């Protein structure tokens, strides 16, 4: 068991299954899976449509520790129907967030002076395209429940999202991720609302070619989202790197973590509206145009340089780019 | 009037007290630029004599700055504009007792969120997310929020504008209302399952089929309204009911979580309930190891 956890640390986050990510992100030997495969809770809807099921419905949920902090973990598995959210998958995700907030309420009622390092946190490793079509209506309703639970966590439980898996984080889960307090990505992570194929369908192949991987990455990938400020921390592609970044975040006071979020208050919406204005003024044809606006004189070079060099060199979009 | 598709502004007039709608104004917020988030309408009105915030789609007005925003689509500007209306409602009533907070009425007729390159570069996910968080915050601060689907409530558009309400109402299918993630024809194409067979299956399992009736069975819609003239009166009744529940501390019966229980009461989404109980029971056994 111990060697296994240590082996996990070195592994590529991109190549890791949901369960490995969940186990490896928290301290060694502390992860307890909740509603795991032994309970055989699978989709009741897929068999009616002649589809195979998984006994975890494509998501691993559980609790672990980072130091003394209880960490409620959800980790989506992209190899099962693209990590899509159905009734059971959605309920597990919704409830893990709710459990963290309820634990917080109970702990703080019993002891209002409870040290911050012992208060619960939520960590979600996203790998999903959003709603599962086979049970679309239930999946949709689960997204609304998730946003509701996220709001319940405000002022109490920090939510950290990790994006660095094959499928990325798209569809409705794209805005769920935006509602997290902190987003940690690798350069292989992708985050957005509308998947590339749908944009191509909408705008035509000349405007957006979904098969152009470089284009897709620079529009939705970790490096771009880091420049935009939508990704707070950009890390190397290993479970250890994600875990270290997560630990660095979770030792901060709650207020500092909450301040890192992109949205969730009038002031943050007003700042985002300044960015929208910038979009209108500069009418970027490509993400690289925005990188240039942010002060990167040679945006082409940003794509391929090694990560540490990128992090040292890159200029991010900040208030100073907004012309006053 | 046969239906209200594309008629967001007409729907506002049918719902609020006559001549009471002030467009672009909510508390301290005063929007004067007509082009700003043009496909969304926000403002303040009176509903049965009481101040309320109105947020609606305007399918007849495209946003001149964003080519993918037309026909009621919620784009970057629209999502944030709608969020502004909510935050300013909260701010305007911040010193009032929960029972006195203004209601917010969402008039829903949207085919979805802006799907474009600039939208993805700047993050359309943040715009729709911002509006949803604002609504959830207002709901929890005591504002009764009632959504009424008068036309289209499609997928992410419905999540953005509708599903964060305390109660969701919809005009019935005879008014050509649409609620779905994808029409059954597209589901049939993608899953390669026979469309007639899918339609038959939908009768016993509302989990994937398109239409307000299925969302009703699934607990995603509190009430279907089959008389367009009764729309205003039903909204007023639901605002009162929601307010009463909030005052009584029964918030768990409202909003997305409340609709989870509603689905169970209507005999659907039963696995949702089961998996939640399994997780809670299993955690109770190990909680001591994790919680101080």
Q: Hey, are the CB atoms on B263 and A141 less than 8 Å from each other?
A: yes
DSSP A119-147: S-EEEEEE-B-SB-GGGHHHHHHHHHHHH
Q: Is residue A220 part of a domain?
A: no
CATH of the domain at B64: 3.90.226.10
What pLDDT is attached to residue A1?
46
Is B2 among the domain residues?
no
Q: Do A150 and B214 lie within an 8 Å CB cutoff?
A: no
pLDDT band at B291 (very low <50, low <70, confident <90, very high): very high
Give A309's contacts (C-beta < 8 A, 6+ positions apart): none
Q: Which domain holds residue B149?
A: 8-290
Domain of A69, CATH number, reads: 3.90.226.10
Rounded to an integer, what distance in angstroms lies between the CA atom of residue A186 and that of residue A307? 9
Number of structural domains found in chain A: 1
Best CA proximity match to A58, nearest among A75, A80, A41, A38: A80
Residue of B108, B218, B271 to mutate when probing chain A, most A C-beta within 10 A: B271
Domain annotation covers residue A6? yes
CB-closest option in B68, B80, B219 to A276:
B80
Residue B249 lies in a domain: yes
Query: A44 to chain B: which residues are within 8 Å by CB?
Result: 270-271
Percent of chain B with pLDDT over 90: 89
A286 assigned to some structural domain: no
Average pLDDT, chain B: 96
Nearest chain A residue to B166, by CA: A148
Pick the residue from chain B with its C-alpha nearest to A193.
B125
> Which chain A residue is nearest to residue B276, measuring alpha carbons?
A95
- Whether residue B3 is contained in a domain is answered as no
Nearest to B218 among A137, A191, A225 (CB): A137
pLDDT at site A324: 44
Please give the pLDDT value at position B183.
Answer: 87
Domain membership flag for residue B116 = yes
Contact B158 A228 (CB under 8 A): no
Angle, vertex CA A211, rays to CA A209 and CA A216, nearest 5:
75
Question: Which of A137, A220, A263 is nearest residue B120 as measured by Cβ atoms?
Answer: A220
Name the residue among B155, B280, B292 with its Cβ closest to that of A118.
Answer: B292
Least confident of A60-64, B191-195, B211-215, B258-262: B191-195
Find chain B residues with C-beta within 8 A of A205's C-beta.
Answer: none
Interval B110-136: pLDDT, tens: 999 999 999 999 999 999 999 999 999
Which residue does chain A place closest to B88, by CA atoms? Answer: A266
Kindly determine whether residue A154 and residue B137, on different chains, have CB atoms separated by under 8 Å.
yes
Q: Which helix (H) or strand (E) is A186 found in, with range?
A: strand A182-186
The nearest CA of chain B is from the CA of A116 a distance in Å of: 11
Lowest pLDDT segment from A251-265, B79-93, B182-196, B216-230 = B182-196
Return the pLDDT at B1.
Answer: 66
**DSSP alpha helices (H): ranges in chain B?**
8-15, 76-92, 117-122, 124-140, 155-160, 184-191, 195-204, 212-217, 231-247, 255-265, 270-290
pLDDT in tens, chain A (324 residues): 445 999 999 999 999 999 999 999 999 999 999 999 999 999 999 999 889 999 999 999 999 999 999 999 999 999 999 999 999 999 999 999 999 999 999 999 999 999 999 999 999 999 999 999 999 999 999 999 999 999 999 999 999 999 999 999 999 999 999 999 999 999 999 999 998 988 998 888 988 999 999 999 999 999 999 999 999 999 999 999 999 999 999 999 999 999 999 999 999 999 999 999 999 999 999 999 999 999 999 999 999 999 999 999 999 998 767 754
User: Is position B50 within any domain?
Assistant: yes
**Which residue range forms the structural domain that includes residue A148?**
2-191+230-263
CB under 8 A, 24+ apart: contacts of A115-119: A115/A68, A116/A253, A116/A254, A117/A67, A117/A68, A117/A69, A117/A251, A118/A68, A118/A69, A118/A70, A118/B292, A119/A69, A119/A157, A119/A254
The pLDDT value recorded for residue A323 is: 58
Is pTM beyond 0.90? Reply is yes
Q: Give the total number of structural domains in chain B.
A: 1
Which band of pLDDT confidence, cut at 50, 70 and 90, is reported for residue B190?
Answer: confident
Q: Do A269 and B124 touch (CB under 8 A)?
A: no
- A125 within some domain: yes
**Does any domain span residue B189?**
yes
Residue A307: per-residue pLDDT? 97
What are the tens digits of pLDDT across the range B22-69? 999 999 999 999 999 999 999 999 999 999 999 999 999 999 999 999
Query: Which chain A residue's Cα is nearest to B36?
Result: A277
CA B64 to chain A, closest CA, distance in angstroms equals 10
d(CA A190, CA A179): 16
Q: Which residues of B touch A147 (CB under 8 A)?
A: 129, 132-133, 136, 159, 164, 256
Which residues on chain A are in Cβ contact (under 8 Å) with B170? Answer: none
Residue A56 to residue A35: CA distance in whole angstroms:
7
What ipTM was predicted for this assembly? 0.97
Chain A contact set for B282 (CB, 8 A): 34-35
Q: Would you say B279 and A35 are in contact if contact means Cβ atoms under 8 Å apart?
A: yes
In a domain, B1, yes or no: no
């Amino acid at each position: 068991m111990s060697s296994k956890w240590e082996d996990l640390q070195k592994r590529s986050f991109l190549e890791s299954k949901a369960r490995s990510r969940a186990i490896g992100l928290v301290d060694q030997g502390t992860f307890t899976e909740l509603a795991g495969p032994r309970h055989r809770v699978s989709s009741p809807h897929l068999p009616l449509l002649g589809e195979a099921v998984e006994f975890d419905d494509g998501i691993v949920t559980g609790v672990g520790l980072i130091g003394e902090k209880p960490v409620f973990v959800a980790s989506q598995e992209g190899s099962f129907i693209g990590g899509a959210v159905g009734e059971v998958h959605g309920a597990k995700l919704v409830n893990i967030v709710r459990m963290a907030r309820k634990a917080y309420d109970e702990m703080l009622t019993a002891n209002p002076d409870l040290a911050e390092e012992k208060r619960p946190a939520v960590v979600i490793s996203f790998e999903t395209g959003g709603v599962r079509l086979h049970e679309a209506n239930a999946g949709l309703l689960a997204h609304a429940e998730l946003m509701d639970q996220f709001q319940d966590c405000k002022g109490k439980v920090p939510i950290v999202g990790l994006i660095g898996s094959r499928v990325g984080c798209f569809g409705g889960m794209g805005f769920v991720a935006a509602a997290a307090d902190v987003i940690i990505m690798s350069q292989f992570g992708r985050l957005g609302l509308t998947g590339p194929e749908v944009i191509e369908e909408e705008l035509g192949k000349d405007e957006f070619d979904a098969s152009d991987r470089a284009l897709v990455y620079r529009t939705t990938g970790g490096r771009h989202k880091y420049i935009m400020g939508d990704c707070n921390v950009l890390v190397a592609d290993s479970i250890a790197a994600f875990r270290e970044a997560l630990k660095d975040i979770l030792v901060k006071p709650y207020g500092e973590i909450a301040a890192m979020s992109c949205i969730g208050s009038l002031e943050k919406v007003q700042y985002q509206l300044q960015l929208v204005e910038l979009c209108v003024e500069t009418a970027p044809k490509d993400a690289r145009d925005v990188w240039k606006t942010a002060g990167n004189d040679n945006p082409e070079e940003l794509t391929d340089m090694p990560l540490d060099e990128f992090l040292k060199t890159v200029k991010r979009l900040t208030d100073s780019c907004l012309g006053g | 009037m046969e239906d209200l598709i594309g008629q967001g502004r007409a729907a506002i007039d049918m719902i609020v007290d006559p001549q009471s709608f002030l467009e672009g104004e909510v508390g301290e917020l005063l929007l004067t630029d007509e082009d700003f988030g043009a496909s969304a309408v926000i403002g303040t009105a009176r509903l049965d004599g009481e101040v309320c915030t109105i947020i609606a789609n305007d399918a007849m007005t495209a946003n001149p700055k964003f080519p993918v925003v037309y026909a009621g689509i919620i784009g970057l500007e629209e999502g944030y504009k709608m969020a502004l209306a909510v935050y300013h409602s909260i701010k305007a009533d911040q010193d009032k007792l929960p029972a006195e907070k203004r209601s917010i009425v969402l008039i829903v007729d949207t085919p979805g969120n802006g799907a474009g390159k600039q939208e993805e570069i700047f993050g359309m996910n943040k715009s729709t997310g911002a509006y949803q968080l604002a609504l959830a915050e207002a709901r929890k601060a005591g504002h009764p929020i009632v959504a009424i689907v008068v036309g289209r409530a499609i997928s992410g558009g419905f999540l953005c504008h509708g599903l964060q309400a305390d109660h969701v109402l919809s005009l019935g299918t005879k008014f050509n209302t649409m609620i779905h993630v994808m029409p059954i024809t597209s589901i049939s194409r993608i899953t390669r399952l026979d469309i007639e067979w899918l339609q038959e299956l939908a009768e016993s399992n509302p989990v994937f089929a398109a239409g307000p009736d299925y969302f009703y069975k699934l607990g995603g819609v509190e009430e279907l309204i089959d008389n367009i003239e009764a729309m205003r009166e039903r909204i007023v009744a639901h605002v009162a009911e929601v307010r009463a529940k909030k005052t009584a501390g029964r918030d768990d019966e409202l909003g997305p979580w409340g609709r989870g229980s509603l689905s169970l009461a209507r005999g659907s989404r039963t696995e949702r309930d089961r998996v939640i109980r399994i997780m809670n029971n299993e955690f109770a056994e190990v909680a001591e190891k994790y919680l101080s």
